[in-house]
């Protein structure tokens, strides 16, 4: 179903910035290959809420949102709700912390 995470196929895999990316279909693979910056999540795929507070955290694949054509991932759906309530401020803070947060 569109708009929900889908498991990718090993046969539709590419590498980007040191990570393996798998896709559910060849159209999505080609779109990513053509312009990965549009599709890759912000902050290296870490929880955007956590990065806004100066640390990293894992994410839940269903806890995502798009703002200004950028993909943001969150630790959980409840964290995503908090993220969305103060999204602009959280993005500003996360942008200030990224990528220095990786050295902490």
Domain containing residue 33: 9-38
Does a structural domain hold residue 78?
Answer: yes
Does a structural domain hold residue 69?
Answer: yes
72 and 99, same domain (yes or no): yes
- pLDDT above 90 for 11: yes
46 and 92, same domain (yes or no): yes
29 and 47, same domain (yes or no): no
Share of the chain above pLDDT 90, in %: 86
pLDDT of residue 91: 98
Which burial class, exposed, middle or buried, applies to 100 when counting CB atoms under 10 A from its CB (0-12, 13-18, 19+)? exposed
Tally the domains of the chain. Answer: 2
Which burial class, exposed, middle or buried, applies to 50 when counting CB atoms under 10 A from its CB (0-12, 13-18, 19+)? buried
CA distances from 76 to 33, 63, 72, 87 (A): 28, 5, 12, 15
Does a structural domain hold residue 93?
Answer: yes
58 and 95, same domain (yes or no): yes
The per-residue pLDDT for range 33-70, each reduced to its tens digit, is: 999 988 999 999 999 999 999 999 999 999 999 999 89
48 and 92, same domain (yes or no): yes
What band does 1 get if pLDDT is binned at 50, 70 and 90? very low
For the entire predicted model, the pTM comes to: 0.86
Residue-by-residue DSSP string for 45-88? GS-HHHHHTT------TT-EEEETTEEEE-SSHHHHHHHHHTHH
3-state secondary structure of 3: coil
Does a structural domain hold residue 49?
Answer: yes
30 and 61, same domain (yes or no): no
């Amino acid at each position: 179903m569109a708009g929900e995470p889908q498991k990718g196929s090993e046969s539709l895999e590419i590498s980007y910035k040191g990570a393996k990316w798998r896709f559910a279909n060849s159209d999505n693979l080609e779109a990513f290959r053509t312009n990965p910056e549009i599709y890759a999540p912000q902050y290296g795929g870490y929880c955007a809420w956590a990065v806004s507070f100066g640390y990293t955290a894992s994410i839940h694949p269903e806890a995502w949102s798009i703002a200004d054509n950028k993909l943001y991932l969150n630790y959980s759906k409840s964290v995503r709700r908090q993220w969305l309530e103060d999204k602009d401020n959280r993005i500003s803070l996360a942008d200030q912390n990224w990528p220095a947060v990786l050295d902490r």
